[in-house]
Structure 1
């Protein structure tokens, strides 16, 4: 490979691939430090850290591919999705990391959600009835939970598999103590058809209403951010379609 591939880039951070190495450049050094600390503790495969310098983290590329992508078809078998569920359960069963998650507390999250919904509806970014219905669905996520070791941003693009086995999980900067069902919801966002496979691998019953609530809540909170950073949440299968599916 004789070129630099931009994996993702926005004003906060960028990830580049150069041959078999990934370079993550982050304006917030604390996120890089948190990522390295989380990967050292996580009981699941993670990328090898090659070196670290201020604002830059170099990691070895992982074998395999993701089981799919948001806004695209699933390329993984049901067994691969189940293997991902089993790996997620292993993470959630691990001892808690010695730092809290980077997410918001319940009161702060509820306030942020209400403010964001008001802006989405009054600005016309989304139809008011779509916002109102999904705010109702999201309420089920706003309940106390038992903290687990969570990834915190377990998007489908962050889990790699090969031969129906998980080869690694990337992007740990949001890891900490959090709601296990948020991880499951983030991983299955836009791929509801594979939720049963993931739960089968996870190995325990989950509250589907809470999964649906996190789908709605996460999507409501990121629509404007995605637009402002050059992404399109209106792409088929992405966040706005997730919100429409709750209607």
Structure 2
């Protein structure tokens, strides 16, 4: 029998790997429905759905390996990062799905609450939080919606050599800001941003990307701490932003 590997586990969702099969157990059936719908619409490679029996979704493993990890330098080539950028562009140019992502009216109160939590719990100094809240303003503006992945972490993009073999974890897929996907992909890997932009092509607003880095890290850190995860990468970004 193959070893059972716990990929991620918290009270909302658990993902297990058994051999070449990933089993996703999700308490929110709507989230699984959204993931399946987004994968069906995406114009880039996604995992094959082997079977589905709520609350479990079984997916085939993708060939290759993840583009990298948040907390370590990426060993992937510059061409692989550019290929990731090109895949994101293909997604963003695709027809819009019906699902609409979070609006500014939803993001702002969550962001303010996170900032207050970080200072009250002495996770970060008020100066660091205030500085990043200012940087975040660049992202908090109206945007033209595109088809976004919505959680395009570096670990969700798989490559084999210089080619993208697929993208996993589509539960946040829907309409959103293109710059948010690019920011999420390059979080903690700012040095790879030029390669991603080269593959992506077109207009890219660096201030907006840095703004989304601030928003994502400010919002994610309280959740990570409360769920027992180490927020060191996110804290490093917040402390480094100027």
Per the TM superposition, whether the score is higher than 0.5 is yes
TM-score (norm 2): 0.98
Contact kept? 1:146, 1:179, Cα under 8 Å: yes
**Within-5 A mapping of 1:1-247:** 2-101=2-101, 103=102, 105-234=103-232, 238-247=233-242
* d(CA) in 2 for partners of 1:136, 1:36: 36
3-state SS, counterpart of residue 202 of structure 2: coil
TM-score (norm 1): 0.96
Mind listing any 5+ residue stretches in structure 2 that lack a counterpart? none
* d(CA) in 2 for partners of 1:114, 1:62: 38
May I ask how many residue pairs the two structures share in their alignment? 242
Q: Deviations over 1:148-191 (max 9, x none)?
A: 00000000000000021100000000000000100000010000
1:109 deviation in Å?
1.4
Contact kept? 2:117, 2:222, Cα under 8 Å: no
* d(CA) in 2 for partners of 1:32, 1:232: 26
CA RMSD of superposed structures (Å): 0.9
1:68 deviation in Å?
0.9
Mind listing any 5+ residue stretches in structure 1 that lack a counterpart? none
* d(CA) in 2 for partners of 1:200, 1:40: 27
Q: Which runs of 4+ in 1 moved over 6 A?
A: none
* d(CA) in 2 for partners of 1:43, 1:90: 7
1:245 deviation in Å?
1.3
